[in-house]
Structure 1
């Protein structure tokens, strides 16, 4: 049985990509790959960083809570971690905040190498941007991969950053292809995706290479261009 995970251990990633630990460390230290750690009940403050009239940055906190979940590490802390074996951290990255720090009387979080994880969406982002595939080999041109939310996909050598409605269309066409019925009525797909326009060309006009992603039968039917 295959478990649908939201994060992975580093040994799982090394096996998937067939790279050395030294290569993975290089990617993380140079901020090409963002590693994470799981915490439980840590007092954390999340917020944004804005500038005052003089251009000086200041923090605008919008949440203080006892956080359980993943926190992302700064590249500088990954560098120290792999050299010292452990680090005590007060500052982290967070996907939806400009900063994330411990607050109150909270002690710094002890992070050891074995604690490191990689978010699923970070794994998907890296594979899409680099064309890297499971097994460590560059993807063949016809390979289709996507992020969990379908906002980023790669197909036929082209990388696409999609809007929400575009992503829902691609998701629906991909699910149809997996179900063995790749050709779908375009208007029905667009309607279910919440599009005001029922013309595929209008919805994807911001994607100049969209026909490398979606194929038309010129009779109102559409499918992903997977072969």
Structure 2
């Protein structure tokens, strides 16, 4: 039985990708992948960054709470942690805010290499974006790969970085292909995806090569072009 995990140890990732620890470190310290740490009941301040008229950035707190879950490391912190074996951290990254930090007057926490994990979504994003297969090679790349949120796609070797609505359209087309009926009505799929426009070309106008991803029969039906 395979457990559906939200994150993986570095050993699991190295085995999946068939790479050395040195290669994994290289990816992390160059911000190709974002490593995370698991925390429990940690007093965290979440917030966003804003800019003053003279270009100075400052933090605007949006929430303070006891947080349990994953927090992402900055690339320079990943570099130092691998170099030193342990590191005192108080500043983190998170997908849901510009920054996450220990609340004022709280003591920083020591993390060790063994605390590092990789989110499933981050693993899927990197694999889809790079064409990296489970064996660690690029030779047998499938015609279509997608991250969990469908915002990073590879179609016939070409990478696409999609917006939310675009990703929903591709998800629906992919599900239709899996169901054995790849051609579906364009207006129907755009409506289901929450698009304001009922023209596929309008929704994908930010993607110059979108016709390499989505094929039209010129009679209102669309399908993925990844064969």
- Structure 1 residue runs of 5 or longer lacking an equivalent are none
Q: Which residue of 2 aligns with 1:88?
A: 88
- 8 Å Cα contact 2:129/2:153 also seen in 1: no
Q: Which residue of 1 aligns with 2:68?
A: 68
3-state DSSP of counterpart to 1:24:
helix
- How far apart are residue 14 of structure 1 and its match? 0.9
Q: Cα deviation per residue 1:190-210 (whole Å; 9 max; x = unaligned)?
A: 222223433333332332211
Q: Which residue of 2 aligns with 1:42?
A: 42
Q: Which residue of 2 aligns with 1:100?
A: 100
- Output the CA distance in 1 between the equivalents of 2:92 and 2:128: 25
- Output the CA distance in 2 between the equivalents of 1:137 and 1:84: 30
Cα gap change, 1:226/1:124 in structure 2, threshold over 3 Å: closer, same or farther? Answer: same
What is the aligned length?
227
TM-score, structure 2 as length reference: 0.88
Cα gap change, 1:30/1:204 in structure 2, threshold over 3 Å: closer, same or farther? Answer: closer
Q: Which residue of 2 aligns with 1:135?
A: 135
- Output the CA distance in 2 between the equivalents of 1:26 and 1:5: 24
Q: Which residue of 2 aligns with 1:120?
A: 120
More displaced 10-residue stretch of structure 1: 112-121 or 43-52: 43-52
**After the TM superposition, which residues 153-192 of structure 1 pair with which residues of structure 2 at under 5 Å, given as runs?**
153-192=153-192
TM-score, structure 1 as length reference: 0.88
More displaced 10-residue stretch of structure 1: 131-140 or 34-43: 131-140
- 8 Å Cα contact 1:128/1:152 also seen in 2: yes
Q: Which residue of 2 aligns with 1:29?
A: 29
3-state DSSP of counterpart to 2:173:
helix
State the superposition RMSD in angstroms.
2.2
3-state DSSP of counterpart to 2:148:
coil
- Output the CA distance in 2 between the equivalents of 1:182 and 1:198: 19
- 8 Å Cα contact 2:19/2:136 also seen in 1: yes
Cα gap change, 1:184/1:139 in structure 2, threshold over 3 Å: closer, same or farther? Answer: farther
3-state DSSP of counterpart to 1:114:
helix
Cα gap change, 1:22/1:191 in structure 2, threshold over 3 Å: closer, same or farther? Answer: same
